[in-house]
Amino acid sequence: MMETVERFDQTEGYGHSLRNKYQVFEKLRATYGGDYARGQQKYSSGQHRIRFQLEPIGGDKEANIILVGVISANVTATDQYFNKTPSTYAWETSSHDWEDKTTIVENGQHKKVPKDKWAGAETGDILELIIDCDQQLIRIKNETRKTGDTMKVDLNNCPLPWKFIVIFSMYPDRAGSRLKLRPTVTRVTNSLGQTHHESKSDQGTFETRGRSSDSNGAFMVIDNSPDEELHHVIDGVYIGSQDAASNLPGLNECKITHILNVATGIENVFPDRYNYLNIELLDVPETNISKVFAQTNQFIEQALADNGCVLVHCNAGVSRSSSIVLAYLIGTRRMSYDDAYQLVKRARPNIRPNDGFVRQLKEYAAEK
């Protein structure tokens, strides 16, 4: 799961500004209505965690309305009523003299919910939003109040990619208030298992520490060229990227009959031509990849027993697919981790299982 530091590309509402398109909102005058900010990041696959705190600056103590959720990146809110805009999925807390309620928002439709389901949020609470594109849901956790909730997102109403949204409202008795997302240092794990830390400085600048030179701002491998080659590991077993899985001439040349897809968000290109096994795995050290070794080993072994050939692929062909092939060599061919790694490395030089996968593979080898 990726931990994300958000910045904002759109703000709407009455009388506020967003400093440097980052984490501070300012009420410039007393008005009646909501204020809104939408994140810059687009979420189309995988799981992402955004942790933040709504913190008052100055004399005001709380917001009247706090809403947190997602909206389709294809939708633009243009006024204070954005929280009623179709494609909005969120949780809203309202605290007024005349009402005190918690609400879920599904496709812009509000539904009051009991506080034993979602206790809501107040200024000062630390919140965590999980955006799970693969499962088509969002989760919210209030760390301060020890409550949380899960909401399913209908892709027909809120198509991917999604964006993070925050709304808050200060009413006239709170004129001149400010509210900000309190910056926290977050650890980001990229698709190669590398980690770095992101934060906002006291001066309001965006800082990154410990990022490897071979990754870019989107936390992906810097290589835009097609990677269509199928790399031969042993008789009948090939490894590659998602591009290789769509390379029909290459699949035919290698006589592929089975495809093992452990990518995230990649559909099978030729479902009528090949036997597929799909297991979506996140390429982060925390993923328990060892739990699928028995299933993937059996799939590869059965393909070979049927005189077939199997391609194992993930997104980049670097970490997940190589780990699955290594597990097969260790579990079925009784190779040591080092021997198996050298064999796969010779077949595809750019393999690099993340640190968590390496640890699990070595533990797996020790059990054999």
CB 265 within 8 A of CB 46: yes
pLDDT tens, residue by residue, 67-116: 889 999 887 654 444 567 788 999 988 765 435 568 888 988 888 877 66
- Which pLDDT belongs to residue 272? 93
Q: Is residue 244 predicted with pLDDT exceeding 60?
A: yes
**Residue 314 token pair:** 């993930």
Is residue 247 located within the same domain as residue 347?
yes
Residue 353 lies in a domain: yes
Higher per-residue pLDDT: 75 or 313: 313
Active site amino acids: 314
- Which pLDDT belongs to residue 12? 43
Residue with tokens 């992402």: 48
Measure the CA–CA gap between 290 and 361, rounded to whole angstroms: 7
Residue 341 lies in a domain: yes
- Compute φ and ψ for 60, nearest 5 degrees: -80, 150
Residue 196 lies in a domain: no
Positive or negative CA dihedral for 62, 64, 69, 75?
A: negative
CB 4 within 8 A of CB 48: yes
Is residue 149 located within the same domain as residue 259?
no
Please report how many Cα atoms fall inside a 13 Å half-sphere around the Cα of residue 37, on the Cβ side.
26
DSSP string for residues in 334-345: ---HHHHHHHHH
Is residue 180 located within the same domain as residue 240?
no
- Which pLDDT belongs to residue 8? 47
Is residue 169 located within the same domain as residue 268?
no
End position of a domain, from candidates 184, 202, 223: 184
Is residue 52 located within the same domain as residue 171?
yes
Residue 293 lies in a domain: yes
Highest mean pLDDT among 9-18, 39-48, 242-251: 242-251
Is residue 180 located within the same domain as residue 124?
yes
Residue 112's contacts (CB-CB under 8 Å, 6 or more residues apart) are 101, 102, 103
pLDDT tens, residue by residue, 204-220: 454 556 555 444 333 33
- Per-residue DSSP letter, 43: B
CB 12 within 8 A of CB 77: yes
Is residue 37 located within the same domain as residue 169?
yes
Positive or negative CA dihedral for 334, 351, 136, 54?
A: positive
- Which pLDDT belongs to residue 94? 74
How many structural domains is the chain composed of? Answer: 2
**Residue 128 token pair:** 């965590």
pLDDT tens, residue by residue, 259-308: 999 998 788 999 999 999 999 998 888 899 999 999 999 999 999 999 99
- Which pLDDT belongs to residue 241? 93
- Which pLDDT belongs to residue 113? 75
- Which pLDDT belongs to residue 134? 84
Is residue 159 located within the same domain as residue 41?
yes
Is residue 16 located within the same domain as residue 164?
yes
Is residue 31 located within the same domain as residue 101?
yes
pLDDT tens, residue by residue, 136-168: 999 998 888 888 889 999 998 999 999 888 876
Residue 135: pLDDT band (50, 70, 90) is: confident
Higher per-residue pLDDT: 348 or 216: 348
Residue 219 lies in a domain: no
Positive or negative CA dihedral for 217, 282, 267, 160?
A: negative
pLDDT tens, residue by residue, 322-333: 999 999 999 999
Q: What percent of the chain has pLDDT over 90?
A: 40
Q: Which residue range is the domain that position 18 belongs to?
A: 2-184
Which secondary structure element, helix H or strand E, spans residue 303, and what is its range? helix 293-305
Is residue 263 located within the same domain as residue 119?
no
pTM more than 0.75: no
Helix, strand or coil, per DSSP, at residue 346: helix
End position of a domain, from candidates 123, 157, 184: 184
Residue 226 lies in a domain: no
Return the exposure string of 351-365: e unless at least 16 CB atoms fall within 10 Å of the residue's CB, then b: bbbbbbbbebbeebb
Instruction: Give the domain CATH number at 52.
Output: 2.60.120.920
Q: What percent of the chain has pLDDT over 70?
A: 66
Q: Is residue 197 predicted with pLDDT exceeding 90?
A: no
Higher per-residue pLDDT: 239 or 209: 239
Give the strands of the sheet with 186-189, arranged side by side. Answer: 186-189, 195-200, 206-209
Residue 58 lies in a domain: yes
Residue 250 lies in a domain: yes
Q: Is residue 346 predicted with pLDDT exceeding 80?
A: yes
Average pLDDT, stretch 122-135?
Answer: 83
pLDDT tens, residue by residue, 218-236: 333 334 457 899 999 999 9
Is residue 19 located within the same domain as residue 121?
yes
End position of a domain, from candidates 149, 184, 219: 184
Instruction: Give the domain CATH number at 277.
Output: 3.90.190.10
Answer left, alpha or beta for residue 210, where phi above 0 means left and psi between -120 and 50 means alpha. Answer: left
- Which pLDDT belongs to residue 19? 33
- Which pLDDT belongs to residue 54? 61
